[in-house]
Amino acid sequence: MKTSLYQSQIVTGPYAATVSDTATYGQFRDLTAKWVTFLSEKRELMLVGFPMPKTHDIDQGLWSLARALRDAGVRIEGHIQLRGATQGDCNCREMNLVDLSDDSRSRISENRGPRARGCHLDWAALTAAAAALQARIAQGTDIVVVNRFGRAEAEGAGMRGVISDALSSGARVVVGYRPDYAEAWAAFHGGMAQDLPM
């Protein structure tokens, strides 16, 4: 069992890590230590929700957690979403998935032009990213991070298969979601999940 000092707090457990660098963990430094402790103490909890209000950067929060787990030696797979620059004549910002296994990026948005309305998600790219992640999960991992339970997942697509496959493999799954999709997320897990403390 690893033990680490976090300010005046002792964090113990298999996921214990030192979370003290503000430059690395930013505004989520304190919460990251709380999340790591929570996951360490609740080893029986397989499906974990990562709720985040729109006023906070959910992707930075997930990255802080993933970084702490990786630093603690936890085998981790999954994605973090990264917003890029505005796409040419489209008013929407580019969306990329950062692969936690090798930090590579894959674009999951498409430029639909200045008159486009609605979501500019590239469904084919998201499906391909999910399939690649499922293949890696089959090789074995401890925790899988699903960056978002959003529109695609609420409609029965996206990363839903990833979540199911990861749980079936014995891996724990952390899933980010916004308040807009809290109801769909709850309907999906049917009481199986518990949220990280915020």
pTM here is: 0.82
pLDDT in tens, 33-92: 889 989 989 989 999 999 988 888 888 899 989 988 888 889 999 998 887 655 555 556
CA gap 34, 60 in Å, rounded: 16
Residue 187: which domain range? 2-195
CATH number, domain of 53, equals 3.40.50
Q: How many domains does the chain divide into?
A: 1
CA gap 123, 142 in Å, rounded: 27
CA gap 154, 99 in Å, rounded: 22
Phi, psi (degrees; rounded to nearest 5) at 138 = -60, -20
Q: Is residue 9 scored above 70 in pLDDT?
A: no
What strands lie across the sheet with 143-146, from one edge to the other? Answer: 105-107, 93-99, 76-86, 143-146, 172-177, 47-51, 194-195
For residue 2, the one-letter residue type is: K
